[in-house]
Amino acid sequence: MKKQYLSAGMLLLASSLIFTACGTKETANKPSPSAAATKEAAAKETPGQATQNLLGTIKANGKIRIGTEGTYAPFTFHDKDGKLTGFDVEIAQEIAKKIGVQAEFIETKWDGMFAGLDSKRFDIVVNEVTIKEDRKVKYDFSDPYIVSKSVLIVHKDNKDIKKLTDLKGKKAGQSLTSNLTEIAKSNGAEIVQTDGFNQAIDLLLSKRIDATINDGLSYLDLKKQKPDVAIQVVDETKEASQSAVLLNKGNQELVDAVNVALADLKKDGTYLKISEKYFGQDVSK
Protein backbone atom coordinates (compact mmCIF):
# COMPACT_ATOMS: atom_id res chain seq x y z
CA MET A 1 0.00 0.00 0.00
CA LYS A 2 2.80 2.41 0.88
CA LYS A 3 4.43 1.69 -2.47
CA GLN A 4 1.15 2.31 -4.30
CA TYR A 5 0.61 5.64 -2.50
CA LEU A 6 4.17 6.68 -3.42
CA SER A 7 3.68 5.81 -7.09
CA ALA A 8 0.42 7.75 -7.21
CA GLY A 9 2.08 10.76 -5.59
CA MET A 10 4.91 10.71 -8.08
CA LEU A 11 2.43 10.54 -10.96
CA LEU A 12 0.53 13.57 -9.69
CA LEU A 13 3.81 15.52 -9.28
CA ALA A 14 4.92 14.70 -12.82
CA SER A 15 1.58 15.80 -14.26
CA SER A 16 1.80 19.08 -12.38
CA LEU A 17 5.28 19.77 -13.74
CA ILE A 18 4.14 19.06 -17.33
CA PHE A 19 1.20 21.47 -17.15
CA THR A 20 3.38 24.14 -15.53
CA ALA A 21 6.01 23.85 -18.27
CA CYS A 22 3.38 24.10 -21.00
CA GLY A 23 1.89 27.19 -19.42
CA THR A 24 5.31 28.85 -19.11
CA LYS A 25 6.17 28.15 -22.76
CA GLU A 26 2.84 29.56 -23.96
CA THR A 27 3.33 32.73 -21.89
CA ALA A 28 6.90 33.19 -23.13
CA ASN A 29 5.83 32.96 -26.78
CA LYS A 30 2.96 35.42 -26.39
CA PRO A 31 4.01 39.11 -26.19
CA SER A 32 2.61 41.11 -23.33
CA PRO A 33 0.00 43.79 -24.17
CA SER A 34 2.41 46.56 -23.15
CA ALA A 35 5.26 45.21 -25.32
CA ALA A 36 2.95 44.87 -28.33
CA ALA A 37 1.68 48.42 -27.84
CA THR A 38 5.23 49.80 -27.62
CA LYS A 39 6.24 47.99 -30.80
CA GLU A 40 3.16 49.29 -32.64
CA ALA A 41 3.81 52.87 -31.47
CA ALA A 42 7.45 52.69 -32.58
CA ALA A 43 6.36 51.45 -36.01
CA LYS A 44 4.03 54.42 -36.33
CA GLU A 45 6.66 56.97 -35.22
CA THR A 46 9.56 55.81 -37.39
CA PRO A 47 8.14 56.83 -40.81
CA GLY A 48 7.31 60.33 -39.53
CA GLN A 49 10.79 60.80 -38.14
CA ALA A 50 12.42 59.53 -41.31
CA THR A 51 10.47 61.87 -43.56
CA GLN A 52 10.91 65.05 -41.49
CA ASN A 53 12.31 67.70 -43.84
CA LEU A 54 15.30 69.92 -43.10
CA LEU A 55 13.15 72.96 -42.33
CA GLY A 56 11.26 70.91 -39.76
CA THR A 57 14.52 69.76 -38.19
CA ILE A 58 15.82 73.33 -38.04
CA LYS A 59 12.67 74.53 -36.31
CA ALA A 60 12.73 71.59 -33.90
CA ASN A 61 16.37 72.35 -33.00
CA GLY A 62 15.69 76.08 -32.75
CA LYS A 63 18.72 76.99 -34.85
CA ILE A 64 19.96 77.11 -38.42
CA ARG A 65 23.63 76.30 -39.10
CA ILE A 66 25.19 78.76 -41.55
CA GLY A 67 28.47 78.30 -43.39
CA THR A 68 30.46 81.51 -43.89
CA GLU A 69 34.12 82.56 -44.22
CA GLY A 70 34.59 85.30 -41.66
CA THR A 71 37.50 86.66 -43.72
CA TYR A 72 35.71 88.38 -46.60
CA ALA A 73 34.99 92.03 -45.77
CA PRO A 74 32.52 93.67 -45.93
CA PHE A 75 30.39 90.57 -46.35
CA THR A 76 31.60 88.27 -43.60
CA PHE A 77 34.48 89.31 -41.32
CA HIS A 78 35.52 90.08 -37.74
CA ASP A 79 35.39 93.65 -36.44
CA LYS A 80 38.04 95.25 -34.20
CA ASP A 81 36.49 93.51 -31.17
CA GLY A 82 36.62 90.11 -32.86
CA LYS A 83 32.87 89.88 -33.44
CA LEU A 84 31.68 88.19 -36.62
CA THR A 85 29.80 90.73 -38.70
CA GLY A 86 29.26 91.93 -42.25
CA PHE A 87 26.55 92.37 -44.86
CA ASP A 88 26.01 88.64 -45.43
CA VAL A 89 26.17 87.90 -41.70
CA GLU A 90 23.45 90.44 -40.91
CA ILE A 91 21.27 89.23 -43.78
CA ALA A 92 21.67 85.65 -42.53
CA GLN A 93 20.75 86.69 -38.99
CA GLU A 94 17.60 88.37 -40.26
CA ILE A 95 16.66 85.31 -42.33
CA ALA A 96 16.98 83.19 -39.20
CA LYS A 97 14.73 85.59 -37.29
CA LYS A 98 12.07 85.41 -40.00
CA ILE A 99 12.15 81.61 -39.87
CA GLY A 100 11.90 81.80 -36.08
CA VAL A 101 15.24 80.29 -35.06
CA GLN A 102 18.73 81.32 -33.94
CA ALA A 103 21.61 81.73 -36.41
CA GLU A 104 24.62 79.54 -35.70
CA PHE A 105 27.62 80.47 -37.84
CA ILE A 106 30.24 77.88 -38.74
CA GLU A 107 33.32 79.62 -40.13
CA THR A 108 34.94 77.73 -42.98
CA LYS A 109 37.56 78.57 -45.58
CA TRP A 110 36.03 79.23 -48.98
CA ASP A 111 37.77 76.27 -50.60
CA GLY A 112 36.08 73.95 -48.08
CA MET A 113 32.65 75.61 -48.18
CA PHE A 114 30.99 73.30 -50.70
CA ALA A 115 32.44 70.19 -49.07
CA GLY A 116 31.06 71.41 -45.75
CA LEU A 117 27.58 71.71 -47.23
CA ASP A 118 27.93 68.30 -48.89
CA SER A 119 28.76 66.70 -45.54
CA LYS A 120 25.88 68.61 -43.88
CA ARG A 121 28.12 70.46 -41.44
CA PHE A 122 25.77 73.37 -42.05
CA ASP A 123 22.28 73.81 -43.45
CA ILE A 124 22.91 76.79 -45.73
CA VAL A 125 25.81 78.90 -46.98
CA VAL A 126 25.57 82.70 -46.88
CA ASN A 127 28.88 83.91 -48.28
CA GLU A 128 28.45 85.80 -51.56
CA VAL A 129 28.01 82.56 -53.49
CA THR A 130 27.59 83.43 -57.16
CA ILE A 131 24.74 81.72 -58.98
CA LYS A 132 26.29 79.58 -61.73
CA GLU A 133 24.73 77.05 -64.06
CA ASP A 134 27.19 74.30 -63.17
CA ARG A 135 26.52 74.83 -59.46
CA LYS A 136 22.77 74.63 -60.04
CA VAL A 137 23.23 71.06 -61.26
CA LYS A 138 24.18 69.93 -57.75
CA TYR A 139 22.81 72.66 -55.47
CA ASP A 140 19.77 74.88 -55.02
CA PHE A 141 19.90 78.66 -54.69
CA SER A 142 17.56 81.13 -53.07
CA ASP A 143 16.44 84.22 -54.92
CA PRO A 144 19.48 86.52 -55.39
CA TYR A 145 20.09 89.01 -52.58
CA ILE A 146 22.99 91.02 -54.04
CA VAL A 147 24.26 92.06 -57.47
CA SER A 148 27.86 93.12 -58.11
CA LYS A 149 30.59 93.40 -60.71
CA SER A 150 34.06 91.96 -60.34
CA VAL A 151 37.12 94.17 -60.77
CA LEU A 152 40.77 93.68 -61.67
CA ILE A 153 42.92 94.99 -58.81
CA VAL A 154 46.65 95.69 -59.07
CA HIS A 155 49.34 97.42 -57.01
CA LYS A 156 49.45 101.19 -57.42
CA ASP A 157 53.01 100.85 -58.81
CA ASN A 158 51.80 98.54 -61.59
CA LYS A 159 52.50 99.74 -65.13
CA ASP A 160 51.97 96.52 -67.13
CA ILE A 161 48.41 95.43 -66.38
CA LYS A 162 45.69 97.76 -67.62
CA LYS A 163 42.99 95.33 -68.68
CA LEU A 164 41.99 91.71 -68.14
CA THR A 165 43.81 90.47 -71.25
CA ASP A 166 47.08 91.78 -69.79
CA LEU A 167 46.96 88.98 -67.22
CA LYS A 168 48.62 86.56 -69.62
CA GLY A 169 51.70 85.14 -67.89
CA LYS A 170 51.03 87.14 -64.69
CA LYS A 171 50.36 85.80 -61.20
CA ALA A 172 46.76 86.26 -60.05
CA GLY A 173 45.76 85.53 -56.46
CA GLN A 174 42.43 83.65 -56.47
CA SER A 175 40.39 81.17 -54.42
CA LEU A 176 40.48 77.93 -56.39
CA THR A 177 36.72 77.29 -56.28
CA SER A 178 35.72 80.88 -57.08
CA ASN A 179 34.13 81.65 -60.44
CA LEU A 180 36.58 84.58 -60.69
CA THR A 181 39.42 82.08 -60.97
CA GLU A 182 38.01 80.95 -64.32
CA ILE A 183 38.07 84.54 -65.59
CA ALA A 184 41.72 84.86 -64.59
CA LYS A 185 42.58 81.52 -66.21
CA SER A 186 40.76 82.40 -69.43
CA ASN A 187 42.96 85.47 -69.71
CA GLY A 188 46.15 83.44 -69.33
CA ALA A 189 47.00 84.14 -65.69
CA GLU A 190 49.04 81.84 -63.47
CA ILE A 191 46.85 81.12 -60.45
CA VAL A 192 48.21 81.55 -56.92
CA GLN A 193 45.80 80.02 -54.41
CA THR A 194 44.43 82.30 -51.68
CA ASP A 195 41.95 81.82 -48.84
CA GLY A 196 39.94 84.90 -49.71
CA PHE A 197 39.92 88.63 -50.45
CA ASN A 198 42.06 89.70 -47.50
CA GLN A 199 44.89 87.29 -48.26
CA ALA A 200 44.81 88.23 -51.94
CA ILE A 201 45.22 91.91 -51.02
CA ASP A 202 48.05 91.09 -48.60
CA LEU A 203 49.89 89.18 -51.34
CA LEU A 204 49.28 92.05 -53.76
CA LEU A 205 50.63 94.67 -51.35
CA SER A 206 53.76 92.58 -50.77
CA LYS A 207 54.07 92.14 -54.55
CA ARG A 208 54.06 88.36 -54.36
CA ILE A 209 51.28 88.39 -56.95
CA ASP A 210 50.63 90.79 -59.82
CA ALA A 211 46.85 91.07 -59.60
CA THR A 212 43.59 89.68 -58.28
CA ILE A 213 40.10 89.61 -59.75
CA ASN A 214 37.75 90.20 -56.88
CA ASP A 215 34.43 91.67 -55.85
CA GLY A 216 34.03 95.37 -56.62
CA LEU A 217 32.02 95.98 -53.45
CA SER A 218 34.82 94.50 -51.33
CA TYR A 219 37.29 96.85 -53.01
CA LEU A 220 35.08 99.90 -52.34
CA ASP A 221 34.72 98.92 -48.70
CA LEU A 222 38.48 98.50 -48.30
CA LYS A 223 39.16 101.90 -49.85
CA LYS A 224 36.55 103.42 -47.53
CA GLN A 225 38.30 101.90 -44.52
CA LYS A 226 41.85 102.54 -45.78
CA PRO A 227 41.85 105.34 -48.38
CA ASP A 228 45.65 105.23 -48.74
CA VAL A 229 45.98 101.49 -49.36
CA ALA A 230 48.40 101.03 -52.28
CA ILE A 231 46.08 99.29 -54.75
CA GLN A 232 43.94 100.37 -57.69
CA VAL A 233 41.26 99.07 -60.05
CA VAL A 234 42.21 99.01 -63.73
CA ASP A 235 39.38 96.99 -65.30
CA GLU A 236 36.06 95.27 -64.54
CA THR A 237 34.02 92.40 -65.87
CA LYS A 238 31.26 93.21 -68.36
CA GLU A 239 28.51 91.25 -66.68
CA ALA A 240 27.27 91.66 -63.13
CA SER A 241 27.00 88.56 -60.98
CA GLN A 242 24.17 87.58 -58.67
CA SER A 243 24.77 85.95 -55.30
CA ALA A 244 22.30 83.91 -53.28
CA VAL A 245 21.92 81.55 -50.34
CA LEU A 246 23.29 78.10 -51.22
CA LEU A 247 21.48 74.90 -50.16
CA ASN A 248 21.68 71.19 -50.81
CA LYS A 249 19.09 69.90 -53.26
CA GLY A 250 15.99 68.19 -51.92
CA ASN A 251 15.08 70.87 -49.40
CA GLN A 252 12.44 72.88 -51.24
CA GLU A 253 10.60 73.76 -48.02
CA LEU A 254 13.74 75.49 -46.73
CA VAL A 255 14.35 77.22 -50.08
CA ASP A 256 10.81 78.59 -49.97
CA ALA A 257 11.21 79.75 -46.37
CA VAL A 258 14.45 81.59 -47.18
CA ASN A 259 12.85 83.26 -50.21
CA VAL A 260 9.87 84.40 -48.14
CA ALA A 261 12.28 85.78 -45.52
CA LEU A 262 14.28 87.70 -48.14
CA ALA A 263 11.12 89.16 -49.66
CA ASP A 264 9.93 90.25 -46.21
CA LEU A 265 13.31 91.89 -45.46
CA LYS A 266 13.02 93.98 -48.62
CA LYS A 267 9.38 94.81 -47.96
CA ASP A 268 9.84 96.00 -44.37
CA GLY A 269 12.96 98.06 -45.13
CA THR A 270 15.42 95.89 -43.21
CA TYR A 271 17.36 94.92 -46.33
CA LEU A 272 17.82 98.54 -47.46
CA LYS A 273 18.98 99.56 -44.00
CA ILE A 274 21.69 96.87 -43.96
CA SER A 275 22.67 97.59 -47.57
CA GLU A 276 23.12 101.32 -46.96
CA LYS A 277 25.09 100.60 -43.79
CA TYR A 278 27.78 98.76 -45.75
CA PHE A 279 27.58 100.21 -49.26
CA GLY A 280 25.61 103.44 -49.09
CA GLN A 281 23.09 102.16 -51.62
CA ASP A 282 20.70 99.34 -52.51
CA VAL A 283 22.87 96.50 -53.83
CA SER A 284 20.00 94.17 -54.71
CA LYS A 285 19.61 95.66 -58.21
Q: Which domains does the chain have, with CATH numbers?
A: 54-147+243-279 (3.40.190.10), 150-236 (3.40.190.10)
For Cα atoms 202, 204, 210, give the angle at the middle one, nearest 5 degrees.
160
pLDDT at 145 over 80: yes
pLDDT at 163 over 90: yes
3-state secondary structure 56-103: HHHHHHCEEEEEECCCECCCEEECCCCCEECHHHHHHHHHHHHHCCEE
Closest among 181, 151, 149 to 163, alpha carbons compared? 151
- Is pTM beyond 0.75 here? no
pLDDT more than 90, % of the chain: 70
Summarize pLDDT for 20-79 with one digit per residue, the tens.
444 444 444 444 444 444 444 444 443 444 457 999 999 999 999 999 999 988 999 999
The whole-number pLDDT of residue 263 equals: 98
